[in-house]
Structure 1
Amino acid sequence: MPRPSRPQVVRWLVLLAVWLVTAVVVGSALFFNSSRNVPLAGHDAEVSPTLSGHAVLETGPVLPDVRFDLPGRLGVTIVLGKTDAESTEELFARYALIASNVEPQVAGVRDAVVELALASALRGLAAGSLPVIVHLLLGPARRRDLWEDLRTLRPRPVLAVALVLAAIVALWQPWLDEEPEVARTRSWMPLQEFLGDEVPVPEQARRVEVSADSTATGTQRLIGSALDTYAKSQVFYDAAVEKAADLEVREPADDETVALLVSDRHDNVGMDRVARAVADRAGATTFLGGGDDTSTGKAWEAFSLDSMDKTFGDMERWFVTGNHDHGSFVGDYLVGKGWTELDGEVVEGPGGGTLLGFPDPRSSGLGSWRDEKGVSFAEAAQTVADVACDSQEAGERVNTLLVHDANLGKVALERGCADLVVGGHTHVPAGPTAVEGEDGQLGYTFTNGTTGGAAYAIAVGSKPRRDASMTLVTYDGAGRPAGVQVVRLLTDGRFQVDPYAALSLPEGV
């Protein structure tokens, strides 16, 4: 194969340069004029990259906008959209709750910007290839003819160039003058200056600035309250994480597997890092989610699921949805992040044992009422028992039955078709309680409390509203449940570790 001549090399280098320059120009233009919608802080939010070097949070016409510096020239503007908060006070309570574990929200924005950059780069590379492709398709003879036509002003090529220029001008429309935006005339001041010396600002918020326009003056009290909640929650949960490292919990044997059972978080992302610290102290490597991770099951609560995924995403994890997780959002969102949703099929669970799970058939709002939709709770309990017993008849006994409400597994235990039923729902720990089923087969039922420390359907505030519970479930070398141990974070910040409760299951069942 003959070596390319010097002119050929120069020609290909020029074409490559044209491709790259065009790709960079077009890709950059697309990137800085693009946006992505993401769920953020309980809002529908639009994320757009900028060259401001700031992260700017535009909160709307009433609340003050917020910004803080970012390293480098790249910045981002986040425009908060709709939310279902019923009052400004509730909205600020949410903000304080989310701020206690803000990294998943930051990661969501970061991922959105990276996706926009990759998409723009790909489009830029495609656009940059067009002039190169046209150049190669025309060939040297046709290019000379076109150049001669342009040089001598022949109509066809001149008309083509004119039409291209006209199309560009029509899309650009430089004659339209935009009115100056109010937001562009705003001034910024440090958060501490905005609130005054009487409201201390946590160290983490020192570099935050707010827009200092007249619409913001009425929100100082709410911002101060949210900062106070945030500061107290950071102190409370950070102290709990530190204490968890020294808890006296049972350590597993070499052939045992420990699962962390969490239920009824109800959006309390502050407890996630505490539960993970307890899991690490106990050597837990698997995660059982008992449902009610949200209060309504709506998309605004993605921040809670993001926090759970970031905190426990490196563990083996299974979950069921609870009565407050009604709808498809919670399940679909977690499955999209690699979680295993249990929905009526026997799968391999902790320690290699068998695991069966069912979602709660009920749905709830934020009140105390419950609705049963499609199938009654009693009918669902019969279905659970049928599946468990069919599996047992096929030679595969269910070692763990994971449900939101342990009562959903009551019939399965009575028929002697499961070793252990675990759930939550009542917000109060109970068990383990032995249940003798048909033919004398023994099983246990156990209820975890509320990991979020929730008194109602949503756990907001600077600390749990009631004792926050998490349970360590130990499995033997065959994957059968061997014992449970409840760990509670009390409302005063102290831990209570219950004694390890061994499960006396018969051999070979």
Structure 2
Amino acid sequence: MTLPRRLLVGALLAALSIVLGLTVAASLFLNSSRTVVLVGHDTVVRPTMAGDAVVQTGPLLPDFRFRDVGPIGVTLTLGKTEVGSVDKLVERYAYIAGDPTAQVDKVQGVVVDMAVAAAVRGLGIGLVPVAVFLLLGRHRRGQLFRGLGTRQGLVALGLLLVLPLLVWQPWQSSEETQEEQGEWQTLDDFVGADVVLPDEVRDIEIRTGPVTTESKRLVLSAVDTYDRSKEFYSTAADGAAELDVRAAEEGETVALLVSDRHDNIGMDRVARAIGEAAGATVVLDAGDDTSTGQPWEAFSLDSLAGAFDDWDRFGVAGNHDHGTFVSSYLADLGWTMLDGEPVDAPWGGTLLGVDDPRSSGLGNWREESGLSFTEVGDRLADAACSVAEDGDRVSTVLVHDANLGREALARGCVDLVVGGHTHVQAGPEAVEGEDGSTGYTWTNGTTGGAAYAIALGSKPRRDADVSLITYADGRPVGLQWVRLRTDGSWLVGDYTPVEPG
């Protein structure tokens, strides 16, 4: 075979491989689906070429869509969730819509992952002709091409050409559905001229129909909740940036302590703004990010992770974060979830922590299970004192309930124990250890503004707290609390120096 002919054959083979690969990849992508937890639901995500984002909410609520979201659209089919009533479900949608960044990013990530997976599979299929060409060799390829002129060869070629049509089956049609009977209508047109909508929701479209008409009250209620939630937390985040908090000085590191969020994603950007005002670069999460620790609450963890994605992030699970879901989910998102082993802290000291033992499925110490609160506290003290014996005193113990670190303080092995749990700010309290050294305990209030285990709402149900911890030379040197009140006003506690040692 001459060189020009080889180049021609190579070019044709490459073109065939590329066309086949792209065709297969596009087909796989557009016919693929992925189930994820989104807005509290098991949600099936399907890409489309329509360029719109369509949310199919089920039989009781109207579907809605966002137009022209990009070159690739998506259909989200909401499945099972945990909710007490349709009213509560719609209310939850409104709260999440007030700050949807984490959920939007999650959908985009899923679609990109599906596209990459389809491209890899398409590449594999596209290389099949190249592999077959090389495996046959020159002699067998000649026999194959000569065989195409025979009766058997023509039948085989015809079958190969018909095979894609048999797989595609374009002649099949589906029955008309109730969903197709509805028409898309903008939210602004649906609610009527007598209702003033926020500008950003007017162009959202909903599918109208008999059920939709009965759902108008729910839609209006959701819009009202969305508007109040977005306005309150946006105003709070703007105000947080202007707070007169003590900022980090040269050589200092500031950590933001959050606890007891209980699904209140609205406070995440507010907490971030407070931290930025103080120059914080570390977030310490003392747990109870959820109310039940169930997968439907993943939206809360997505929001938390997104709010602090470029900070150093450490956490423990609280007593309401039942089971192992919360810890494993945050770990998969890049958080360092403390498990009773000391770790190096970004401020140069040593950080120690463990999940709350009172949570169902928790309370393990490495391979041992069924330990009581007191026993876990003793083990935590053992671990802290072991580090101290090696000449590296633990600078901070992060737990859900600061009482879990009492024994470590009593033995004089730690500088500072921080937690939450009580929903009431307390401290700093100096504790003198057995060896005469001094450590401190500090309890943050509820960052979510939670009443009992419920915080999700258009504003905090009670005052919402975060704490700022300042470190220098690897040790804590000061503490300050910041509180957002339910009326949107602020209280900033005095900066309190601490001198552990």
TM-score by length of 1: 0.93
Residue equivalent to 1:8: 6
How far 1:347 sits from its partner (Å)? 1.1
Residue equivalent to 1:490: 485
Alpha carbons 2:323, 2:360 under 8 Å: kept:
no
Alpha carbons 2:265, 2:456 under 8 Å: kept:
no
Residue equivalent to 1:111: 109
SS of residue in 2 equivalent to 1:67: strand
Residue equivalent to 2:394: 398
Percent same amino acid among aligned pairs?
53
1:459 to 449, 455, 461: 455
Does the alignment pair 1:188 with 2:184? Answer: yes
Residue equivalent to 2:344: 348
How far 1:252 sits from its partner (Å)? 2.2
SS of residue in 2 equivalent to 1:250: coil
Residue type matched to 2:304 in 1? M
Residue equivalent to 1:505: 500
Residue equivalent to 1:368: none
Residue type matched to 2:490 in 1? F
Stretch deviating more after TM superposition (171-180 or 461-470): 171-180
Residue equivalent to 2:470: 474
CA distance, structure 1, for counterparts of residue 430 and residue 195 of structure 2? 54
TM-score by length of 2: 0.94
SS of residue in 2 equivalent to 1:409: helix
SS of residue in 2 equivalent to 1:318: strand
Following superposition of structure 1 onto structure 2, how do residues 165-314 of structure 1 map, counting pairs within 5 Å?
171-173=167-169, 176-314=172-310
> How many residues are matched?
494
Alpha carbons 2:148, 2:157 under 8 Å: kept:
no
Residue equivalent to 1:100: 98
Residue equivalent to 1:70: 68
Alpha carbons 2:289, 2:321 under 8 Å: kept:
yes
How far 1:379 sits from its partner (Å)? 1.6
Residue equivalent to 1:334: 330
Residue type matched to 1:152 in 2? T
CA distance, structure 2, for counterparts of residue 444 and residue 89 of structure 1? 45
Change (3 A) 1:35 1:274: same
- 1:42-67 deviations in whole A, cap 9, x for unaligned? 00101111111210000111110010
Change (3 A) 1:181 1:297: same
Residue type matched to 1:500 in 2? Y
Residue type matched to 2:79 in 1? G
How far 1:4 sits from its partner (Å)? 7.3
Note the residue ranges of structure 1 that are not aligned, 5 or more in a row: 366-372
SS of residue in 1 equivalent to 2:247: coil
Change (3 A) 1:88 1:501: same
How far 1:117 sits from its partner (Å)? 0.9
CA distance, structure 2, for counterparts of residue 425 and residue 72 of structure 1? 43
Residue type matched to 1:149 in 2? G
Residue equivalent to 1:362: 358
Residue equivalent to 1:322: 318
- 1:139-190 deviations in whole A, cap 9, x for unaligned? 343333223323121x4x4564566567656544556442223323321101
Alpha carbons 2:35, 2:44 under 8 Å: kept:
yes
How far 1:407 sits from its partner (Å)? 0.8
Alpha carbons 2:52, 2:70 under 8 Å: kept:
no
Stretch deviating more after TM superposition (70-79 or 26-35): 70-79
Residue type matched to 2:457 in 1? G
SS of residue in 1 equivalent to 2:388: helix
Residue equivalent to 1:370: none
Residue type matched to 2:192 in 1? G
SS of residue in 1 equivalent to 2:114: helix
Residue type matched to 2:388 in 1? Q
Alpha carbons 1:350, 1:475 under 8 Å: kept:
no
Residue equivalent to 2:143: 145
How far 1:342 sits from its partner (Å)? 0.5
- 1:430-467 deviations in whole A, cap 9, x for unaligned? 01111112122211111000011111212122111111
- 1:322-369 deviations in whole A, cap 9, x for unaligned? 01112111111111111101110111114111111011011279xxxx
Note the residue ranges of structure 2 that are not aligned, 5 or more in a row: 362-368
Residue type matched to 1:330 in 2? V
Change (3 A) 1:94 1:19: same
Alpha carbons 1:450, 1:467 under 8 Å: kept:
yes
CA distance, structure 2, for counterparts of residue 212 and residue 454 of structure 1? 37
CA distance, structure 1, for counterparts of residue 162 and residue 67 of structure 2? 41
Residue type matched to 1:30 in 2? L
Alpha carbons 1:326, 1:363 under 8 Å: kept:
yes
SS of residue in 1 equivalent to 2:234: helix
Residue equivalent to 1:40: 38
